[in-house]
Amino acid sequence: MSGHSTYQPTHPAARWLEDRLPILSLAHSSAVAYPTPRNLNYFWTFGAILTFMLVVQILTGVVLAMQYTAHVSLAFDSVERIMRDVNYGWLIRYMHANGASMFFIAVYIHMFRGMYYGSYKNPREVLWILGVIIFLLMMATAFMGYVLPWGQMSFWGATVITNLFSAIPLVGEHIVTLLWGGFSVDNPTLNRFFSLHYLLPFMIAGVVGLHIWALHHVGQNNPAGVEPKSKDDTVPFTPYATVKDVFATVCFMIFFAWFLFYTPNFLGHADNYVPANPLVTPAHIVPEWYFLPFYAILRAIPDKLGGVLAMFGAIAVLFVLPWLDTSKVRSATYRPLFRQFFWIFAVNCVVLGWLGAKPAEGTYVILSRVCTIYYFLHFLVILPVLGFVEKPKPLPASIADSVLGKKARRDATASAVAKA
C-alpha cells in the first residue's frame, strides 16, 4: 500500500466522491491492487477466516442481545427461550457459542503460523503486538460471554477468575469489588459483563483495523521469510488472494457447520445447562477449552499471586517475543534447530491444555509445573540462545527463486524417477 494509488475511477460519480473522500482508491489499493507474496500457503488464509468469524460473532451476538435478559433470575430462562421458542434461536445461539470456539481455533493457528514463520520480526513487531492485544481482548470477551447464560459453570467460572485479581497486593480487593459491583458474583456482575461483552467486540474490530493497516504498510511475511524484491515475487490481492481466502473460509465453514449442527454441545460443558446456584459448587470447575493452557499454568504455581503472575506472564511474554528471538532469519524452513523446538513448544502447549482440564492433584500438578517451566524456557532461554548457536540454511535470493527452485528440484527428481 506504499506509494500513491494509481487507481483512477472512471464513472463521474465515483470521480466526484474520490475528489472529496479518497475511499474508493483506499479500497482499491488495499483490497485489489495490494501486492501479496506469491508463495503464501493456506496458513495465510486465517486472517480472512478470523475477520469472517468476527463478523459472524458480532451479527449473531447482536441478534441474541435482542432476546437475552441480563438478570440473574431471568438470564438462564431467556437463553432457553431463545433455544426453544425464538424462530431459529437455537441456530443463532449455537452459532454464537460454537463460533467463539472456532474463533479461537483460527486465532491459535494464526498465532502459531506467525511463530513458525517468524512473522513478528522486524519490521512487523507492531503488527504482532496489535495481534496480541486482539488476543487479550478476545479472551476477555469470551470469558464474559460464557458468564451470560448464567449456568453453573458461568457462575463458578466467573467466581474463580474474578477472584484471581484479589491476589494483586494492595489494590486487589478493590479491583474484585469493582469487577463484581458488590461483594460477590451477583446481578451487578452479570450486568456489567453483558455491557462489556457487547462493547469489547467493537474494540476488537477497531484494533483489527489497526492490525490490517500495519499489515498493509509493512506487507505480508511469507513462507520463505524473505521480503519481496520485484514484481515477480508478488501477485495482486484480487483475484489471487481473494479467491484463495474465500475458498479457505468456505472450507472452514464446513468444519464449523459440523460442530454447529451435529455436536453443538461438544465444546461446551454439561454443567452450564444447570442454572447457577451459589450454594452448590460443581465437582470440577473448568474454563472453556481455549483457556485451559493458561489455567494449567495458573494452577501449576503453588502460590496464588505467583500463579496469577505466571498466567498473565504467559501472555505478556508474547508482547516481547520480537525481541526475545535473536535470529535474523524469519522462516523456520531455514532454521533446522528452531523448527524442532517450535514443534516441541506446540506439543507442550497442547499438553498444558490437557492438564488444564484435569484436577489439580498428583502427577498432574508435577506435569503442569514441568510444562509451565518449559513454556517460559522456550521464550526466555531457547529463543534468545538459538539465534546465536544455530546455523541457518542458506536463504533463497528471492521469493520467485524459492518457488522456482523448489519446482525445478521437484521436476528433476520426477524425471530421475521416471528414468530409473
Partner 1 sequence: MSLRITLALGAALLASASLTSAPALAAEGAPQPPHEDWSFAGPFGGFDRAQLQRGFKVYREVCSACHGLSRVAFRNLAEDGGPGYSEGQVQALAAEYQITDGPGEDGEMFDRAGRPSDRFPAPYPNEQAAAAAHGKAPPDLSLIAKARTYERGFPWFVFDIVTQYQEQAPDYIHALLVGYKDAPQDFEVPEGAHYNAYFPGHVIAMAAPLSDGQVTYDDNAPATVDQYARDVTAFLMWAAEPHMEQRKRMGFQVIIFLIGFAALLFFTKKKIWREVEKPREIAEGKDPAQTSL
Using CB under 8 A, list all residues that contact partner 1: 38, 77, 80, 83-84, 90-91, 94, 235, 239-240, 243-244, 246-247, 250-251, 253-254, 257-266, 270-271, 273-274, 283, 336, 339-340, 343-344, 347-348, 351, 354, 358-359, 361-364, 367, 400, 403-404, 407-408
Residue 151 CB, nearest approach to partner 1 (Å):
9
Asked whether the bond before 359 is cis by omega within 30 degrees of 0, the reply is: no
Residue 344 CB, nearest approach to partner 1 (Å):
6
Cβ distance to partner 1 smaller for residue 319 or 376 = 376
- E strands within 88-240? 234-236
Nearest to 325, CA basis, from 372, 390, 394, 399: 390
Residue 239 CB, nearest approach to partner 1 (Å):
5
Strand, coil or helix: 36: strand
Residue 406 CB, nearest approach to partner 1 (Å):
10
Residue 122 CB, nearest approach to partner 1 (Å):
26
**Taking a C-beta distance cutoff of 8 angstroms, is the pair 100, 145 a contact?**
yes
Cβ distance to partner 1 smaller for residue 80 or 125 = 80
Question: What whole-number distance in Å separates Cα of residue 175 and Cα of residue 177?
Answer: 5
Cβ distance to partner 1 smaller for residue 207 or 253 = 253
Residue 271 CB, nearest approach to partner 1 (Å):
7
The distance in angstroms from the start CA to the end CA of the chain is 49
**Taking a C-beta distance cutoff of 8 angstroms, is the pair 113, 122 a contact?**
no
In the structure grid, which three cell numbers stand for residue 156, read together? 463458578
Q: Which residue(s) pair with 151 in the sheet?
A: 275
Cβ distance to partner 1 smaller for residue 19 or 361 = 361
Cβ distance to partner 1 smaller for residue 235 or 309 = 235
DSSP characters over 295-312: HHHHHHSSSHHHHHHHHH
Cβ distance to partner 1 smaller for residue 259 or 375 = 259
Question: What whole-number distance in Å separates Cα of residue 190 and Cα of residue 144?
Answer: 9
